[in-house]
Amino acid sequence: MTTKPTLLATLLLGGALLASAVASAPAAAADDGARLFAEKEIAPWLKDPALIDGIKEQNRRNAALTQAEIEALDKRWTAELGQKDQPTIKAVATSSVSKLVMTKLEQAKGLYTEIIVMDAKGLNVGMTSATSDYWQGDEAKWKETFAKGPGAVHADAPRRDESTLMAQRQISLTVVDPADGKPIGAVTVAVDADKLELGSGLTATVAR
């Protein structure tokens, strides 16, 4: 398979400015290629008012939740997986944030394979497909982003699914309120690693 650097010029353009911004951001487990992709391709749509309002509204509803209540909700979610009646899962799947990220997934034309949006507690606000659990607050996608503050980016190593043979890489970012710059949640975007090859430098190429 040959690759064409269709994103290379775009990602390298303004690289010097991004490098200085990244240097002042909190340290996170992401190489330069993943961080630059996050800044150029994902971060811009995280300012969408529908996304921000959806996260803030859930934060208000969940503000008083205890850890015990969060874990109970998580158990309810996992119990609903595979069942005909899924009220907890359906409430998230039909949310305005889920509708927004479904649109982003479709616009990515296969580059994104999944999107998960989390609130300040690490609970799902929106998703493109049902996740295996409701609470992401004990996972790196939330602990290495929202918990680290604005500017944090986390990327795991590419993993190939044995059944689908698809290689994916999850890139996660803190979501901030544009009004005051404070963190309100986090987002994880799973990227098809066979279509996007992220290197250790400020480069990215899309496989054709």
What tens digit of pLDDT does each residue of 121-168 get? 999 999 999 999 999 999 999 999 999 999 999 998 888 866 667 788
* Within-domain flag for 66: yes
Does a structural domain hold residue 164? yes
- On whether residue 68 sits in a domain, the answer given is yes
Asked if residue 33 belongs to a domain, the reply is: yes
Query: Which residue type, as a one-letter code, is found at position 84?
Result: K
pLDDT band per the 50, 70, 90 thresholds, residue 26: very low
- The domain that holds 83 is classified in CATH as 3.30.450.20
Mean pLDDT of the chain: 82
> Domain for residue 49, yes or no?
yes
Q: Which domain holds residue 175?
A: 3-17+27-207
- Whole-model pTM? 0.79
Instruction: Taking residues 88-115, report their average pLDDT.
Output: 96
Q: Which residue has the tokens 């500017």?
A: 151
Q: Does residue 22 lie within any of the structural domains? A: no
Residue 35 lies in a domain: yes
Domain count, the chain: 1
pLDDT (mean) for 2-18: 37
Closest by Cα among 86, 87, 140, 85 to 118: 140
> What pLDDT is stored for residue 197 in this prediction?
60
Asked which of 30-34, 64-68, 74-78, 110-114 is least confident by mean pLDDT, the reply is: 30-34
Per-residue pLDDT reduced to its tens digit, 109-120: 989 999 999 999
pLDDT band at residue 30 using 50, 70 and 90 as cut-offs: low
Q: What is the DSSP string of 34-92?
A: HHHHIIIIIGGGGG-HHHHHHHHHHHHHHTT--HHHHHHHHHHHHHHTT-S--HHHHHH
**Any idea which of 55-69, 151-165, 170-184 has the lowest mean pLDDT?**
151-165
